[in-house]
Chain A
Amino acid sequence: MMLSAHHKLQLYGALLLLPAALLLTTFAYIPTVTTLISSLFLPGFRGAPAEFVGLENYQVLFIDPTFWKVARNNLLYALGTIPTSIALALGMALFVNARLPGRGLVRMAYFTPTILPMIAAANIWMFFYAPQIGLFNKLLGALGFSGVNWLGDPAVALGSVMAMSVWKEAGFFMIFYLAALQGMPPELKEASDLEGTSRWSFFWRVTFPLLMPTTLFVLINALINAVRVVDHLFILTKGGPNNATNLLLYYVYENSFAFFDRTTAATITVVILLTLAIIATLKFTLLDRRTHYQ
């Protein structure tokens, strides 16, 4: 049998793709499909076959107040951390893009939290938040205030977790803004200086609109991270007190590996997958192929 040159190339290409295809199928596609399937079944008792229950697992999940609490936490977490990180990142980028004494050091200080593991960052912040010996309460005590239970008070705990996330993330987003700022044609600034435009209106009318693609890019990444990164909860709060800081992926972990309820875990995973699908759609419609990918 003789293969035409074109078919030979096709075969060769397919072979090159094979390892990646096998791995992606094993660890991405099959698990996605089996997650969907297990969310539609109830496991049988004592080796009985699993029973198809349609959307019943979702009905059960949607009347579970804890699920709604966790979903609400995750939404608050996103709303609380993302705009703050983005604003800070932009501010940092503007700072280190200007003439500034010790610019290198300042940039390093902003960026360093980015390369720490979330676990290490949480450990460090634990020293601040701990009720008796923590630095924050010691400082408050020294000033004559009574201490705050930063991680133990349900009203404060999520805020404390968010503060740490912002600290960890802002410097990462800064570098994208910084690159965008450095890519801006200097003529824009020169022209506006000649016309006597104030720096404030130059920022809002020129810089900020030109940074829009970067802002969208950063926003998409921040959204993904808000769903995906829960490592710090293992150290700071374990989702407590009374689920006040629990986030969706951590709740999946709890259901699966602490309560051994794989069905509920799969059902919540589907909710997470849907959220990620929305973010992906946002990315491909808003961002297109414009920024950072050249």
Chain B
Amino acid sequence: MSSLTAFSPSTARRVHAWRSLETIAAWLLALIWIFPLLYAFWAAFHPSEYMVRFDLLAPLTLDNFANAWAQAPFARYYFNTFALVTGVVVGQFVVCTLAAFAFARFPLPGKNVLFMLVLIQLFIFPEVLIVENYRMVSELGLINTLTGVGLPYVASAFGIFLLRQTFKTIPQELEDAARIEGCSWLAILWKVYVPLAKPTYLAYGLVSISHHWNNFLWPLVVTNSVESRPLTVGLGIFSAPETGVNWATISAATLLSIAPLLVAFLLFQRQFVQSFLRAGIR
């Protein structure tokens, strides 16, 4: 509070009181904001009769998790989400890197128009075109496959945009030096551009992982069996009110499906926040 010493004591006291009020408000808002998640934890780890009875001595239990695990094929859902997210992110890295390299360094005719065309996809997402994309995916014979869920997202305008920006900041001299050593274009991309763009890949990768781990509408439409459903869709079906599953079990199932991402977030908070910032749009 050294900056306040210039003021009279009463002003300082008023400012101090105001600051304490702000601290209280900030903490109150934080409590409200985290409460739903804490409540989900409470419900998941206690017998269902304690759903709305807050008793510190309520017995802890893992039965809800065991029930959820037994009542729906969560292991399979985990596997599907894992495979889906890995496939999408790897595909995006490859396809977007190549396209971004072309936009950053090659003399394409009508390059700006082409780039604008790519940027359109920042607004027109696969799930907005759900009707026609469904038709397209069924014509390709990809309904009810993980490929069908992931493929529409592989050419991501956003990834191309981010990587192009990064590639453009890389000094030409590095590229020239590599060329003098006899590197081919692909070798230059692999040895010069990709390593220098690592932070962008990390940011884009984290954003993309969270997006596809959480994506629901398009996977819901394209999948129709346990073999291809990701966690979100599995959870959605499991917790639909008409299934009559008990709430504590739904709580446990919800936590099960968010756990990996939540734990990753808590461990690597800074990286997550930085990535979302860098990437801007999910």
Chain B residues lying within 8 Å of A12, measured Cβ to Cβ, are 106, 185
* Dominant secondary structure at the A interface: helix
Asked if B128 and A167 sit within 8 Å, CB to CB, the answer is no
Which segment, of B71-79, B174-182, B268-276, faces chain A?
B268-276
Report A107-164 residues with CB < 8 Å from chain B CB.
108-121, 123-128, 133, 135, 138
* Bound complex: CA A236 to CA B25 (Å): 30
Stretch at the interface among A32-40, A52-60, A66-74, A202-210: A32-40
Which residue of B has the minimal Cβ distance to A18? B98
Of B127, B133, B210, B276, which one neighbours A228 at CB under 8 angstroms? B127
B232 at the interface (CB under 8 A from A): yes
Which of chain A's residues have a CB closer than 8 A to the CB of B99?
Answer: 16-17, 19-21
Report B-chain residues with C-beta under 8 Å of the C-beta of A106: 26-27, 30
B187 within 8 A of A: no
Q: Does A273 touch B at the CB level, under 8 Å?
A: yes
Query: Is A62 in the interface zone, CB < 8 Å from B?
Result: no
Asked whether, in the complex, the Cβ of B30 is within 8 Å of the Cβ of A135, the reply is no
Task: Determine the chain B residues whose CB is within 8 A of the CB of A119 once the complex forms.
Answer: 214, 216, 232, 235-236
The verdict on A269 contacting chain B, using a C-beta distance below 8 Å, is yes
List of A residues within 8 angstroms of B80 by Cβ: none
Q: B residues touching A (Cβ–Cβ < 8 Å)?
A: 3, 19, 22-23, 25-27, 29-31, 33-34, 36-37, 39-40, 43, 51-52, 94-96, 98-99, 101-103, 105-109, 114, 117-118, 120-136, 140, 151-152, 154-155, 157, 160-161, 165, 185, 210, 213-217, 220-221, 231-232, 235-236, 239-241, 247, 250-251, 254, 257-258, 261-262, 265-266, 269, 272-273, 276-277, 280-281
Q: How large is the interface on A (under 10, 10 to 19, 20 to 34, 35 or more residues)?
A: 35 or more
Is the CB–CB distance between B124 and A167 below 8 Å? Answer: no
Partner of B136, one of A27, A96, A123: A27
Say yes or no: A30 contacts B247, CB within 8 Å: no
A residues engaging B (CB < 8 A)? 6, 9-10, 12-14, 16-17, 19-24, 26-32, 34-35, 38, 88, 91-92, 95-96, 98-102, 105-106, 108-121, 123-128, 133, 135, 138, 167, 170-172, 175-176, 179, 193, 217, 221, 224, 227-228, 230-231, 234-235, 249, 252-253, 256-257, 262, 265-266, 269, 272-273, 276-277, 279-280, 292-294
Are A256 and B134 CB-contacts (below 8 A) given A9-B107, A106-B30, A109-B34?
A: yes
Cα-based distance from A80 to B221 in the complex (angstroms): 29
Contact across chains for A92 and B160 when beta carbons are under 8 A apart: no
Instruction: Name the contact of A118 in the complex, choosing from B128, B214, B269 (C-beta under 8 A).
Output: B214
* One of A13, A127, A175 near B51 (C-beta < 8 A): A127
